[in-house]
Amino acid sequence: MKKSHWLTALITGVALATLLVGCGSKGSASSSSAQTLNLTEELDPTTLDVNDMRNTNENDILSEVQEGLTTIESKNGKDKVVLTGAKSYTKSADGLTYTFKLRDAKWSDGKKVTAQQYVDSFRRLLKKENAFSQATGAYFIKGAEAYNTGKGSAEDLGVKALNAKTLQVQLAYAHPSLLSDFASVIYYPVRLDKINKVGNKKWKTDVKDQVFNGPFKLTSWKKNDKITLKKNNTYWNAKKVKLQTVTYTTTNKASTVLSLMQSGQLDALSASGKQISDFNKLAKSNKLVSRKQDGSGTTVLIMNQHNGGTQGLFKNTKVREAVSLSINRQSYNKAVNDGKDQPTYTMVPQSMNVGSTNYGEYVGNPLKDLQAQYNTKAKRQALLKEGLKELGKSTDLSKLNFVYLTVDDDDTGTWLKQELDQQLGVKVTIKTAPDVPSFVKSRNDNQYDLLDNGWSGSADPNSYLSLWDSNNGFQQFFGGYNSKTFDDLDAKLNANLSTKERLALYKQLETQLVAKDFGVVPLTNSQSRLYINKSVKNLQSTVFGATFNYTYASKE
């Protein structure tokens, strides 16, 4: 008897409780309009250490709670570099010395921002023992490479504080995108007094030890859960900052994000390809506005030129040419991104501007023109056979088997298999590694012919092109392209050239890479789809900055 009553009572109790609680409080109402911006991120940042920045998540948050010499804003849909931490600058005639005058600015604990803190930051970034992943990006600074590889000293590093408010930077070679690069969080000033108190390890993740000189400060960080920012009243331009609170919720589940946006608990999002159709439907309901934003990424198809791949074929230019010309990037874009990104025929994003000239317009599309010439399967197969003959291999195409290595169950492989079968008549095998470490091992052991990869550079075409230098540290995952012609051309860019001379070189380099040597097959340039709550004003997005710039955004 007792047991039955006990069970019944329990069940009734749970049911009642559910009803009461469920109907009692009305759930969470949509965020009050009190200047709070709610965002999401797919992954938690791994660090708050500006010099150690690795991914978008860190960049997004750090670029709003800290500040460096410059920031990238958006004007009329184009990137504009704005002086923020710096008030003004001068550049020497040979383009190798920049002198910055700092603005009067304070940290959140009241201390002043000084030139020495910038010097400390550069030294810390490049210190060999710190092994920060972005350090190589600073090699354009005099003495940087030597110091970072342990062959030089911190004193020989070309960064000096001439006085408390003047910073001098000396370059190893001309670097036209310097101002835009300095907007990256890795060059932001640091407070050694704070870091040395707790040590590098704790500094990475401990919120309470941090100080902030940006428009916001990070007040709470619940791992894999939620991050909260509050307006920083010591920011030099705090008057113009309207938002009081910004929150980031960590979730990578598309449907969770959709539910949040539906109920008004998420204000803005950069959607991935698969999410677009759902969000477009939501946008029609008139609560959201959507816009496109050109991105800084180029996705490419890589051919193994380290050892030519599993059958040694990709060492031959004609083989690579045949494969490259068989690729239809429009069909790739549709199959893999639901048409979200921009198909491209060049390594450098077409939207890149060099001075007042548009890169795409100037350089043109040599690969596209070539592809128009080889517009039938028969022509491409003939080309492939010529390559095979040059290698001394059989021209029986049915014997060929290209291995495409990937780590996920990804659409690229499926598309590639079909594409090369239809357009070239060659078989592709998809090899899926169970996880990233295994993938890395298989790739380093050259157990592939084809890979896909992407690269996000900075506002200088050479940040995309120098990747293909034979001695570039990233060769391992970009196929091992090796061309003396390319290397020599690229070396010329180190001189202090005029914009016109640079453009001419870029054109030669691009043509050499994609349309003469076929070292890589460019597929698409990233293009985000942004969905923003109608009540949010002045939420900016840029090509080379963070996902969103909400410093001067507000809510109605």
Partner 1 sequence: MIKLIVRRFIELLISTFLIATATFFLISAVPGDALSAQTDKLPAATRAQVYKNTGLNKPVMERYVITMNNMLHGQFGESIADPSVTMSSLIRDRLPASARLGIQQMLLGIPLGLLLGILAAVYKNTWIDRAVTILALFLMSFPSLVLGLLLQSYFGGKLGWFPIIGWPSGDQLWWGGWIYTILPTIAGGIGYIAGYARLLKNSMVDVASSEYVMTARAKGLSEPQIVLHHIVRNAFIPIITSLPVTLAFGITGSIFIESIFVIPGIGQYFVTALTNRDVPIIMGETVLLAILYIVTMFITDLLYTVVDPRIKLYDN
Q: Which spans of this chain sit near partner 1 (rule: CB under 8 A)?
A: 1, 3-4, 7-8, 10-11, 14, 17-18, 21-23, 25-28, 46, 54, 128-129, 131-133, 135-136, 148-149, 201-202, 204-206, 222-226, 249-253, 255-256, 258-260, 262-263, 265, 435-442, 473-474, 477
Q: How far is the CB of 239 from partner 1 (least distance, A)?
A: 34
Whole-angstrom distance, CA of residue 334 vs CA of residue 332: 5
94-116 burial: b if 16+ Cβ within 10 Å, else e? ebbebbbbbbebbbbeeeebbbe
DSSP class of residue 535 equals T
Cα dihedral angle (512, 516, 521, 524), rounded to 10 degrees? Answer: 60
Please say which residue, 53 or 135, places its beta carbon nearer to partner 1: 135
Please say which residue, 453 or 511, places its beta carbon nearer to partner 1: 453
Please say which residue, 262 or 508, places its beta carbon nearer to partner 1: 262
Q: How far is the CB of 467 from partner 1 (least distance, A)?
A: 11
Please say which residue, 12 or 538, places its beta carbon nearer to partner 1: 12
Whole-angstrom distance, CA of residue 96 vs CA of residue 495: 10
Whole-angstrom distance, CA of residue 228 vs CA of residue 222: 9
DSSP assignments along 115-174, one per residue: HHHHHHHHHHHH-GGG--TTGGGGTTBTTHHHHHTTSS-STTSSEEEEETTEEEEEBSS-
Q: How far is the CB of 336 from partner 1 (least distance, A)?
A: 21
The bridge status of strand 450-456 relative to strand 288-303 is antiparallel
Please say which residue, 22 or 110, places its beta carbon nearer to partner 1: 22
Q: How far is the CB of 453 from partner 1 (least distance, A)?
A: 10
Please say which residue, 139 or 212, places its beta carbon nearer to partner 1: 139
Please say which residue, 264 or 364, places its beta carbon nearer to partner 1: 264
Please say which residue, 226 or 417, places its beta carbon nearer to partner 1: 226
Q: How far is the CB of 254 from partner 1 (least distance, A)?
A: 10
Instruction: Give the tokens for residue 162.
Output: 């001439």
Q: How far is the CB of 133 from partner 1 (least distance, A)?
A: 5
Please say which residue, 91 or 202, places its beta carbon nearer to partner 1: 202
Q: How far is the CB of 20 from partner 1 (least distance, A)?
A: 10
CB 370 within 8 A of CB 325: yes
Please say which residue, 196 or 255, places its beta carbon nearer to partner 1: 255
Q: How far is the CB of 549 from partner 1 (least distance, A)?
A: 25
Q: How far is the CB of 13 from partner 1 (least distance, A)?
A: 10
Half-sphere CA count of 433, side-chain side, radius 13 A: 19
Beta bridge partners of 300: 453, 522
Instruction: Give the tokens for residue 82.
Output: 């704005």
Whole-angstrom distance, CA of residue 360 vs CA of residue 194: 46
Q: Three-class SS of residue 109?
A: coil
Please say which residue, 14 or 164, places its beta carbon nearer to partner 1: 14
Q: How far is the CB of 7 from partner 1 (least distance, A)?
A: 6
Whole-angstrom distance, CA of residue 314 vs CA of residue 323: 10
Q: How far is the CB of 524 from partner 1 (least distance, A)?
A: 20
What distance lies between CA 143 and its chain's CA centroid?
Answer: 26
Q: Phi, psi at residue 177, to the nearest 5°?
A: -95, 20
Instruction: Give the tokens for residue 296.
Output: 């800084």
Positions of E strands within 157-314: 159-163, 166-170, 216-222, 226-231, 245-250, 268-271, 288-303
